[in-house]
Structures are given as C-alpha cells and as structure tokens.
Amino acid sequence: MPEPRDWDSEWLTLSATALDAVSRAETLEALEAARVDFLGRERGRLTGLLRSLKDMSIEERRRLGPQANALKDALEKSLEARRRSLESAALESGLAASRVDLSLPPPPWPRGRRHPVAETLREMTGILARLGFAPAEGPLVESDRNNFAGLNIPADHPARDLQDTFYLKDLPLLLRTHTSPVQVRYMEAHKAPLRIMSPGRVFRHEAVDASHSAVFHQVEGLYVDRKVSMADLKGTLSTFMRGLFGPQAAIRFRPSFFPFVEPGAEVDVRCLLCAGKGCPACKRTGWMEMLGAGLVHPNVLRFCGIDPGQWSGYAFGVGVERIALLRYGVPDIRMLYENDLRVLESLAP
C-alpha cells in the first residue's frame, strides 16, 4: 500500500503559489510555463489534485473539492487577463519601435529632365518642323563622296586636312564633319521640291577648349524648290532665331565662303546681352556669329541629279551647343559634357 498523501499540505502550497506565478510572468513564454505547471493536462499540479479527488476520503473531498474548482476558475481568468495585458504591451512596444510620423513631408524625389543640349535640339527641330521642314537622318560614318566630293569640296580643300577630319583606319571612310552629307543622300533619293532638316552628331579633329569640342551637334536645313532666293532664306532664319531667342532677336547676313553654297553668308544675331550696344560677349560689335548659310551651289544640285536650271535652294547649318551656351548662359562648352549633376541641375530649362 502506498503512503497516503497529505492532500491538505499539497493544497496549501498550490493555492499559495498559483495566482502569484501568473502575476509574476513577464513574458508570454513565462505565462505559458506557469499555465502548464498548474493546469497542464498531463502533469499540471492543480489538474493532478482535481483528478485525485476520487481517491480522497469523503471528508477531504468535501473540503478540498469546491476550493480546488474555485481556484481553477480563478487561475483560468487570471491567465487570460495576464495574457491580454502582455500581448498589448508587446504590440505597444512594437509600434513604438517602428514609429512613423505621417505628418512629415516626404523626402525630395529626384526628378530627371532633358540634358541642355537635348532640350535645345528638341526646341530647334520643333521650330523648324512648324516651318515645314521634315526630319531626315544619316549615318555618323560616311564616305568621302557624301561628306566632301558631293558638296563641292575639292580634293585639295583644307577642310579635308587630317587636322580636321577623323578618318577610319584602313577604310575609305570617315566620321562626318557636318550633317551636310544627309543633303546629298536625301537629294539623290528624292525628287525636288523638298524641305528637310537633319539634326545629329558631328566630329572634328580639333583641340577641346571652352568653345570647341571634338564631338558636337548640328541642325541642317535644306529647301529646294523653284526660284528659292536669299530673301526666302533670310525670312526662314529670322523666324527660326526669333523662335529660339525671342521676338526681339534680329539677324544680319555677312558675305562669306562655303564650298557648297553660292552666295554664302555668315549669319549674326544682334547681341542678346547688350541688345547691340556693344559688350565683351559680342567683342563690342553688337552682333554674335550664329550660323552659316547660303543658296545651294549648282554643282551640288547637279551632283545629286537635280537640274540647277530648273531648281534652286538654300541650306543652313547651326551648331546646337553654341545655341545652348547662349540660352543657358554657360560660359564653357565642356560644362555641357562633363555630366556634373550639380551643373546640369542648375541649368533649368
């Protein structure tokens, strides 16, 4: 026979510690351990005592039964209350750790914009498109024929000098020095009349300084029709420059020589800084050199299969970087190509 258990003594210990263990649990894990200790199905101490009621004497059962059941109820309620309290504390501290202030303004979002050269090119071609010029493009690598011979630039012309032109090694090809070969390609492929613009990159073998780059952009205009005159050219360029620089922009023609036009002209715009009074930017002349233009040379028309007796035309070529420097007030062409974001961001269009 096993020793009879001292139920009263076991009950005393149990009832004295159970509720205390629950209230002392600081974490959900500690609370679960306390629950298993007292109410666990297999080894819980209170569960064990309740299961043993049937082994007790009637007197013990009457005394301890109601008390043990009351403790079980109290313990269950206490466990539930403590669990809620610990859970809400955990939630609070989690929220505090990841606090988000929804009233704060968002951090600045970097905004992209067009490069000043691209933006200038876009505006130039936009104005010419409104004047009726259709876009035409050609390759960057060209033949001598299209870049020089077809444009009335003879074999001994200084523009062909190695100083100016990048030739391809072992091939009779070169990097185009102007966008004019597109004229040749287009006139050979299409019949007159025609009115085109050819924007694009060109290459010159020259030292880079504040106003020169080995790679830059041009927009070329070409108009071939019956009886095209210098007056037509001047009217178009006047509208073009006013579109770029505003309604006060005035132009003048100075006679000049380019092999592919006759007559040829340098086109100046009245100084944008001093309005013609004379300042360092215009070398005190009141005018700024802007582009080259002229009536298409009969030799060029003839080369491209267009009869100069029937047709005439004008052509002009503008450097995009030159326009961009003036429009953005940038003193040095290299600033456009070093891609220093601090500079580019300061050049708001």
**CB of 267: closest distance to Zn ion in angstroms?**
16
Closest CB to Zn ion among 220 and 268? Answer: 268
**Piece of 5-13, 105-113, 190-198, 274-282 that binds Zn ion (CB under 5 A):** 274-282
Closest CB to Zn ion among 191 and 277? Answer: 277
Rounded Cα–Cα distance for residues 168 and 170 (Å) = 6
**CB of 331: closest distance to Zn ion in angstroms?**
14
**CB of 284: closest distance to Zn ion in angstroms?**
8
| Chosen residue from 21, 224, 271, 296 binding Zn ion by CB under 5 A | 271
**Angle at Cα 225 formed by Cα 221 and Cα 228, nearest 5°?**
80
**Residue whose token pair is 């050049």:** 347
Smallest CA-to-CA distance from 233 within 129, 168, 332, 317 is with 317
**CB of 330: closest distance to Zn ion in angstroms?**
17
Instruction: Work out whether 282 is an interface residue with Zn ion (CB under 5 A).
Output: yes
| Chosen residue from 274, 343, 344, 347 binding Zn ion by CB under 5 A | 274
Strands (E), the chain: 134-135, 141-143, 173-175, 194-203, 215-225, 251-256, 261-270, 287-296, 312-319
Per the CB < 8 A criterion, the answer to whether 140 and 175 are in contact is yes
Instruction: Work out whether 30 is an interface residue with Zn ion (CB under 5 A).
Output: no
Question: Which residues are CB-contacts of 293 (< 8 A; sequence separation ≥ 6)?
Answer: 233, 237, 253, 261, 264, 265, 267, 314, 315, 316, 317
Judge residue 343's burial from the number of C-beta atoms within 10 Å of its C-beta, 0-12 exposed, 13-18 middle, 19 or more buried: middle
Rounded Cα–Cα distance for residues 229 and 236 (Å) = 11
Instruction: Work out whether 222 is an interface residue with Zn ion (CB under 5 A).
Output: no
Smallest CA-to-CA distance from 182 within 126, 236, 130, 142 is with 142
**Piece of 7-15, 26-34, 269-277, 334-342 that binds Zn ion (CB under 5 A):** 269-277
**Piece of 125-133, 218-226, 277-285, 311-319 that binds Zn ion (CB under 5 A):** 277-285
Report which residue's Cβ sits closest to Zn ion.
Answer: 271
**CB of 247: closest distance to Zn ion in angstroms?**
18
Binding mask 225-264 for Zn ion (x = CB under 5 A): ----------------------------------------
Closest CB to Zn ion among 95 and 210? Answer: 210
**Residue whose token pair is 């303004």:** 105
Helices (H) and strands (E) in the chain, counts: 11, 9
**Angle at Cα 114 formed by Cα 270 and Cα 203, nearest 5°?**
70
**CB of 174: closest distance to Zn ion in angstroms?**
37
Instruction: Work out whether 279 is an interface residue with Zn ion (CB under 5 A).
Output: yes
Closest CB to Zn ion among 90 and 275? Answer: 275
Closest CB to Zn ion among 19 and 279? Answer: 279
Size of the residue set binding Zn ion (CB under 5 A): 6
Bridge partners of 216, per DSSP, are 202
- Give the footprint of Zn ion on this chain (CB under 5 A): 271, 273-274, 279, 281-282
